[in-house]
A and B are shown apart, each in its own frame.
Chain A
Amino acid sequence: MMLMLILSLSVLVAASVLLILSRDTLRLVVGLAMLGGAANLMVFLAGRPGSVLPPIIAAGAETLPAAANPLPQALVLTAIVIGFALLCFALVLIANLARQDARQDSDALRANEPVATDPIKPPVMEP
């Protein structure tokens, strides 16, 4: 179980780094989403997984048997929700970018940082 988690974590991180290094906007966003998934797995692993028992003290009992750690689960859930919202935003954003410029190449995004033609002075950016 632990080995599987660690292996999937490594694969996720490796794949996301590969995708993030791409110039294609969609790949970059997918890579960031995968890195988010890897980060969530990391939070989960940080809570020492092992038990699947819910951390609920039975009626009348004083102590909790070896139960799952609820804190990382709460943290992961929060992080998933936030990551989900950001992923949605990023997808809409790159869809709009693709409508403006079909190349979907992040190097082609130069409207804000135009290439200088004058060797000394920067180009004028219209307000």
Chain B
Amino acid sequence: MKSGSVLLERAAPLLYWAMLIIALAILLRGHNEPGGGFIGGLVAVAASALLAIILDPAAALRRQPLAPLRLAMAGVGLTLLSGLPAVFLGLPYLTHLWSGGWSTVLLFDLGVFCAVWGTLTGYLYPLLEADPR
């Protein structure tokens, strides 16, 4: 579905990458300040939605690291894995470990990010493709 505006079509890929960088920044910022995986994921969804609406869903799909379902599954898998290191140290599952600037929370957040991005684009693309316009 083309929007018909040359400016929008040219700018969309650039905007997409800009929004993805912002999404990642929000994800990392969530470590100590407002932000985090869920909100970052939503921004990433907005970026994909922009491409999907201005160009078409296939174009947005090409620029995603994984297809929506796989992305969501990978995300949930990451969140499940992020709880495991604690178990090997004899702590309860999901106890998060910190070392310097790195932590298992980051892994968890990254998982949430991917899960949100995958799930919502998975809902979005079929709806856009089925649009009668």
Q: Which residues of A contact B (CB under 8 A)?
A: 77, 81, 85, 88-89, 91-92, 95, 99
B126 contacts the other chain (Cβ, under 8 Å)? yes
Chosen A-B contacts, 15 in total, with CB atoms closer than 8 Å, are: A77-B38, A81-B38, A85-B119, A88-B119, A88-B120, A88-B123, A89-B123, A91-B123, A91-B127, A92-B123, A92-B126, A92-B127, A95-B127, A95-B130, A99-B130
User: Given contacts A88-B119, A92-B123, A92-B126, could you give 12 more A-B pairs where the C-beta distance is less than 8 Å?
Assistant: A77-B38, A81-B38, A85-B119, A88-B120, A88-B123, A89-B123, A91-B123, A91-B127, A92-B127, A95-B127, A95-B130, A99-B130
Closest chain-B Cβ to A103's Cβ sits at a distance in Å of 17
**Whole-angstrom CA separation of A81 from B76 in the bound complex:** 14
**Whole-angstrom CA separation of A91 from B130 in the bound complex:** 13
Chain B interface, number of residues (Cβ within 8 angstroms): 7
- CB contacts (< 8 Å) of B130 on chain A: these are 95, 99
**Whole-angstrom CA separation of A31 from B38 in the bound complex:** 25
**Whole-angstrom CA separation of A91 from B126 in the bound complex:** 12
- CB contacts (< 8 Å) of B127 on chain A: these are 91-92, 95
Closest B residue to A95 using CB positions: B127
Which B residues, 74 to 102, have Cβ-Cβ distances below 8 Å to chain A?
none
Closest B residue to A89 using CB positions: B123
Closest B residue to A77 using CB positions: B38
- CB contacts (< 8 Å) of A81 on chain B: these are 38
Closest A residue to B124 using CB positions: A88
**Whole-angstrom CA separation of A77 from B35 in the bound complex:** 13
- CB contacts (< 8 Å) of B123 on chain A: these are 88-89, 91-92
**Whole-angstrom CA separation of A89 from B38 in the bound complex:** 18
- CB contacts (< 8 Å) of A77 on chain B: these are 38
Closest chain-A Cβ to B120's Cβ sits at a distance in Å of 7
